[in-house]
Structures are given as C-alpha cells and as structure tokens.
Structure 1
Amino acid sequence: MGEQVEKTELANILAQRIAAEGDLTFASFMEAALYEPGLGYYTSAGRKVGAQGDFYTSMNVHSAFGRMIAKEISRFWELLDSPANFTIAEAGAGGGQLALDILDALAELNQPLYQGICYRLIEKEPSLKEAQETFLARHGAHLAWSTPEELASGNLSFTGCIISNELFDAMPVHIVEMTGEGLKELYVGVRNGELVEKHGPLSDPQLAEYFTKFQVALMPGQRAEVNLCAAGWIAAAAATLERGFVLTVDYGYLAEELYAPQRKDGTLMCYYQHQTGEDPFELVGQQDITTHVNFSDLMAAGVEAGLQNVWYGEQYRFLLGTGMVEELMRLEAAATSEQERIAHRLNLKKLMLPEGGMGDTFKVLIQAKGVENPQLLCMRKWGMGL
C-alpha cells in the first residue's frame, strides 16, 4: 500500500480514533471508509455509479440486463405456483436503475405477476429512499423499504426472491497474510499522523477456521481477504424467505480459484473516477474499495441455512439462457437507425463477452428454498425454449 496519501476529513478522523482507541482491523477500517455516516463512500453525497461516477455495473451498460433478470424472476414466480402476492427484495439498490429495469420489464411482459408485486428495497443509507422514490415513481404503488437490520432480524417474511447486484464485493473484509510465523492479520495503525498497515494476531478464530473449511493453504507471503459478513447475510436471506429464490450477481470465484497462489496480493481494488488503484489509504471515504467474492462461501452458507444451490455460472451463460440473443434481435428490429443498432450491439457485447467484457468476470448464483429441482431459464440450451 502506497506511501503518498491524500488526506481527507475521514482519514483525519480515523487517525484520531486509532490514536485514542487502538489499531483497527482492516474490516473495521473498510466499514468506516465505505459507510461512516455522512463521510463514507456510500454514505456521502455524490453519484457513485455510471458515467459521472467511479465505476459501471452491468445495469448501467444496458437495460437488457434488468430485463433478463425480470424474465428469470417470472420463471421463479411460475415455479412458486404463481402466488397472488410476490416480493422482490433488492439489497443495495443504489440509485434504483436495476429496480426500474426489472419493474418496467415485468409491467410489459407479465401483468399478472406485476399486479401482485411488492418491490422491497433493502438499504443501509436512509437518504437513498427519497431519490429511489422519485426515480421509481411510476411504480410507486409497488414499492416498500427495509433496512439491512430488518432483513437480519428475521421479522421480515415473504414468498418471492431476494436479489443483489454487486453487494458482497462492497462488504468489509479482513486481510490476512501467511508469514514465517504463521497466519497474521493486517491492521490499520497510525504513524506520524498517517494511516499505515501493521501485522498482528488474528482478531477472530473464524479467520483460521475459514481456510480450513475451504481447504485452502496460503503460500508464504500470500495475502487474502476474508468476508465474515457474507455467510450471515445469506442465512438472514434464507430465514426471510418462506419459499423462493436468492439471486446473486457479483464478481468472484470459487475458493480454490480465488485463493490460488497466483493471487499473491489478494484481490483488493479501489475505484475513483473510473481509475483503479490499490491503496485504500488514499482518498479515504472518496474512493470505492472492493474485493472479489468467495462464491464457495455463499454456497456453503446457503446449504447450512436450508437453501439449495440451483445454478452457478458466468454472467454471459445466464444472459444467453434467459434470452439475450432474442433480446438483441428484438432491439435491432425496433431500432430506428443503424447508429442505434450498433449502440445496442456494443453495449450487449460488453455485458456478454469474456476477456475485457463483463461476461465471465461476473458470476451469477441462484439458490432456492422450498422448490424441488427447479428448472430455470438460465439452464436452457442457448437460444432454445424449455
């Protein structure tokens, strides 16, 4: 992590906090950098996503992404015997773009489902509600809000689905390193008023157990991130569902690949104005901090909580199975100019293509509760009906 640091108000606050209270685990530092009230990356003013923000997600590339998810949600509804009341809970909905694309698609494609929908936005940041309410105004009768704490409490209960797009990659992580003295944890301390990294003993016995559980042996000098929050989130989602599905879109790998020796420095990345960096101590509170997701952890947590792992694969496979080729044909037929057709092709190419696109970087995991052996759209042979 670099030496030249641009100080922010939050960096100064954290330095004072550490000086007074002691070193922070990296997870505690990351929690503050992203979510400190009023000063964290996700809890301060300013647009984070899209051309004016710091990064793109799939939903910002083309509305077809949300439309394909809407088609799979329609399939969820059918597999649940087409209930009159159906909840779609989206965790970390941000500006509401994915919600809008899904609701627009369902209003067009499946009116019986749309009429009974409650679209519940699970948000950590209270100020987002007003913006979401305005952005989603045409679907206002179908909207509801809850906090992550309400999801975790077990007091919510519904039939439907819980979806997320790039939720887990922004959860705080512990960082560990295999040293000559065994596994050590990285802490954030202060030296001459500056935030610095330090090695220390493991703050939680779960950190060592985690690598045993996934049969991972880190190489000497290898760093790795550990998300101890993800399993609890999956368990809460499972408890909330009476029957239904959990659909997760994020970038990551199964444990064996995520913690492979070639990832010697881990996967932590920072994003600021579409530029990537590797120093989380720069622009504290003003840059995003993310890590790749351990999908093996989400799967294991789901099984422990009573979920069935139904489908896991690259985003391009999900999109092909849910009908992206047909969608491109529909868009091209409706386009009024060659320029519009080319724009559709280029954007869908970005969603689909591996090696530089989002097609294989992003993965989709679908888990089910109370549905035996569900046959999903994403399982189809490409371009074929069920």
Structure 2
Amino acid sequence: MADGTATTKLAEIILNRIRTSGDITFASFMESALYEPDLGYYTSAGRKVGAEGDFYTSMNVHSAFGRLIAQEICRFWEQLDSPASFTIAEAGAGGGQLAQDILDAISEDNPRFYNGLTYRLIEKEPSLQQAQAARLSRHADRLAWSSPDELASGTLSFTGCIISNELFDAMPVHIVELTEAGLREVYVSANADGFVERLLPPSTPELEKYLRKYEVRLLPGQRAEINLAASGWIAQAAATLTRGFVLTIDYGFLSGELYTPQRRNGTLLCYYKHSTNENPYQLVGEQDITTHINFSQLIVDGEEAGLKKAWYGEQYRFLLSAGLMEELIRLEAQAKDEQESLKHRLALKKLMLPEGGMGDTFKVLIQSKGVDNPQLLCMRKWGMGL
C-alpha cells in the first residue's frame, strides 16, 4: 500500500519531514493528511460533503435525519426531568447542517425545551465558525462554540447530551500487522520516488494492550487499524457530562465482527469525488481517509468512565423507532406534487435500507450518565408507544 508519486504540496511537505526527521507511524501520516493546518483534507478550503464533495453523510441525504435525532434529544431532556438548562454539544459539527435540522425541529416542536437550550458546536477547524454562524443565524441566541481542546481540558461541564455523526471514523489510526516475528506496526517512510511502508516494532505498548483488552486475535498476515484516540475522547465526554447522554452515529462493528479474519487488510478506505480507493498515499490532503470504528471500545471504555450503554443498533432501527414513518407521512402531506413526494421517499429509503443504503452500514450507540433505566424512543417496538 504505497504510491511512488507525490502529487500534492502536502505530500511533498510530509516527504521532506520524513527525510529530515525519520519514519513516522501511519497514525502521524493520517493526522497530517487530514488535519495539517490549511493543507489537510479537513482543514483546507472546498466542499467535502454532498453532491459537490467527495462523499455523503446521512444528514446530507434528508433533513428528516436531523429531525428524528431531535425527537430522541427531546426524549433525553424529558428523561433528565426537563431541566431549565440543557446543552447539546455536537462534536465535529462541520458546516452546521445537522445543527440546523435539530434546532429547527426543536424550535417548532418543543418551544419550552428550545428556550432553555444551548447548542455548542465543537469543531477542529476554526474557520468554520463563521459559516456555521451564518447558516444558524435564526438560532443565534442558542449558539456557543468550543474547540476540541476545550472538551479535552475538562473546563466544560454541563447537563445535556454530546452527539457526533461520523466523528470517530476520521480519527487517525495506527495500523498493525501480525507477522512471523510477532506484532509489527506500519510506519511510513520515503525513498527517491515517494512514500513507502515499513513494518517495525510497535511505537507504543498501548497497541498490544488494545488487542488484549478487546480480545482481538489476528491471523498471520492480517492487518488491523487501532484508534487509540477514541478511548480518550469517550472518557473526556463522560467527564464533561454532569448528567446526560452521549449519542454516536458512525459506521463500524463490535470488536468480534470488526477484526474478523475475512477483513485481512483492515477497513481503511479513501474517498475522492464519490469514488473509493485503498491508497492513502495518493492525493494527500485532497482525499478523505476513513476506517470503520470499534463500538466495543466505546462501550467498554465508556463503562469505565461512568457511561452506561443504553442502546446500540443499526441506523434503520433507530430511525424507525424515532418516528421515521410518521415523518414520511408528514412530508408527503406537505409535498406540492408527486415528484416532491417521490423525492422524499427515495431519500428516506436511502437512510434506511441495507445493501447500498445507509440503514445497516451505520450504527447508533447511546450511553447515559446519571440516569437510571432511561426509556428512549429507540427502545420502542415498531408501531407501539413507550
């Protein structure tokens, strides 16, 4: 998995860095490729998401996605005894699309909740704040901003919920491979032509500890991604909440399924203009690099930090239980013609269906803190009340 050509300014910078200072872990390479100031995929200008970007997320498919999340957040508020002050913190808030759909829905459906609400946008790229403020201008009195460093520092503390949509899959990962000599880590080196990979002893004992903790047994020649940053993030989220919920939406599996021998080369994928490839060393800074996440890690480490697993399941189950069919009926009643009605149906179908849709590729995890036996919408049996 290497490419001899350096086709971008960022690729040349990273190559020169390696030639000057030595080989780097794949996690360091991925960190630079995605987050290098002004040049990384997420820190440079340009549309990343939607028809003009490189990939879709559920929130770009239809505003109903955010409206249904808003329904569950209203349930969170009720389960916390409807406090006068409630914070929704969205990590990786991007352009503010999800925030807009959630705030629009709550302001329309639950004014009392909305009036005591703070929506805190947490985003690594500071230049996005202006775009978020413009998009969310009608909700200006409800908005606040924080950097990921503020979340990590422990200075934030609130009752409410922390939500993320495709946050963990964009965190830098270490890549390991089981060899005849034992566990080795993928390092990124440089030769005269460009990037090359080398297998070297692990950079930290945390990698082997991770495999033991989540009972991962690799076969000889099998590669796997390890996201060490996710453990710290979930612990910080737990510390930030006095009482409340953490809602995570992402693509991934529990540990046993994620690290199955059938995934001999891991799950790393790159996205560029709605096409995928497995070569992170091309188009450096111009293509997204992602991996499936280990939900067992979030559940186990969340428990250690004081978060109880309330619910885990496929996105289609979550959306149905949160009221997707009712939302479709509402949209069709408001549609001005059959073409608009069909557009709604096709979009919601994409959110729900497996095999080409997003329904079972994406999972939803809800964790709670300071709430005994929460009764959530996602726990409903379809077609029944709670």
Q: Aligned residue for 2:69?
A: 69
Alignment of 1:308-327 (within 5 A): 308-327=308-327
Shift in Å at residue 356 of structure 1? 1.1
Alignment-derived partner of residue 51 in structure 1 = 51
CA contact (8 A) 2:6 2:194 kept: no
The alignment partner of 1:118 has SS state of strand
In structure 1, runs of 5+ residues without a counterpart are none
> What residue number does 1:176 align with?
176
| Runs of 4+ that moved beyond 3 A | 2-6
Q: Secondary structure at the match of 2:10?
A: helix
Contact (CA 8 Å) 1:183, 1:202: kept in 2 or not? yes
- The answer to whether the 8 A contact 1:252-1:293 is kept is yes
What residue is the counterpart of 2:206 in the other structure?
Answer: 206
SS at 1:372's partner residue? Answer: coil
- The CA deviation string for residues 188-231 of structure 1, in whole angstroms up to 9 with x for no partner, is 00011511111100001010111111111101110000000001
User: What residue number does 2:289 align with?
Assistant: 289
Q: Is 1:330 aligned to residue 330 of structure 2? A: yes
Q: Report the Cα offset of residue 5 of structure 1.
A: 3.2
Give how far 1:377 is off: 0.2
State how far apart, in whole Å, the 1-side matches of 2:117 and 2:6 are: 47
By how many angstroms is 1:37 displaced?
0.3
> Which residue does 1:81 correspond to in 2?
81
**Secondary structure, aligned partner of 2:38:** coil
1:80-120 CA-to-partner distances (Å, cap 9, x unmatched) read 01011110000001010000000000011100010111000
How many aligned residue pairs are there? 386
Q: Does 1:125 align with 2:125?
A: yes
State the AA in 1 paired with 2:381: K
Amino acid at match of 2:252: G
> Alpha-carbon deviation of 1:2?
4.5
> In structure 1, how many angstroms separate the alpha carbons of the residues matched to 2:259 and 2:169?
15
Rounded Cα–Cα distance in structure 1 between residues aligned with 2:244 and 2:72 = 12
In structure 1, what is the equivalent of residue 19 of structure 2?
19
Counterpart of 2:166 in structure 1 is: 166
> Structure 1 CA distance, aligned partners of 2:201 and 2:379?
45
Q: Could you say which residue in structure 1 is the equivalent of 2:34?
A: 34
1:265 alignment counterpart: 265
Match of 1:98 in 2: 98
CA offset digits 1:224-260 (Å, max 9, x no partner): 0000000100000000000000000000000000000
Matching residue of 2:380 = 380
Q: Is the 8 A contact 1:323 1:383 kept in 2?
A: no
1:333 positional shift: 1.2
Structure 1 residue 384, shift from structure 2 partner: 1.8
> Structure 1, residues 309-350: CA drift from partner, whole Å, max 9, x if none?
100000000001101011111111111111011111100000
CA distance in 2, matches of 1:5, 1:252: 31
Q: Does the 8 Å contact 2:3/2:194 carry over to 1?
A: no
RMSD, aligned α-carbons: 0.8
What is residue 187 of structure 1 aligned with on the other side?
Answer: 187
Shift of residue 6 of structure 1?
Answer: 4.8
- Once structures 1 and 2 are overlaid, which stretch shifts more, 375-384 or 163-172? 375-384
Q: Percent of counterpart pairs with the same letter?
A: 70
Aligned-partner SS, 1:87: strand
**1:5 matched residue in structure 2:** 5
Q: What's the CA shift for 1:351?
A: 0.1
Distance in 2 (CA, whole Å) between partners of 1:381 and 1:317 is: 10
The 8 Å contact of residues 26 and 174 in structure 2, kept in 1 or not, is answered as: yes
Q: What letter corresponds to residue 183 of structure 1 in structure 2?
A: L
The alignment's TM-score, normalised by the length of structure 2, stands at: 0.99
The amino acid of 1:139's aligned partner reads: H
Distance in 2, matches of 1:111 and 1:381, equals 28
Report the alpha carbon displacement of residue 3 of structure 1 after superposing the two structures with TM: 3.4
Q: Is the 8 A contact 1:5 1:283 kept in 2?
A: no
Structure 1 residue matching 2:190: 3-state secondary structure? strand
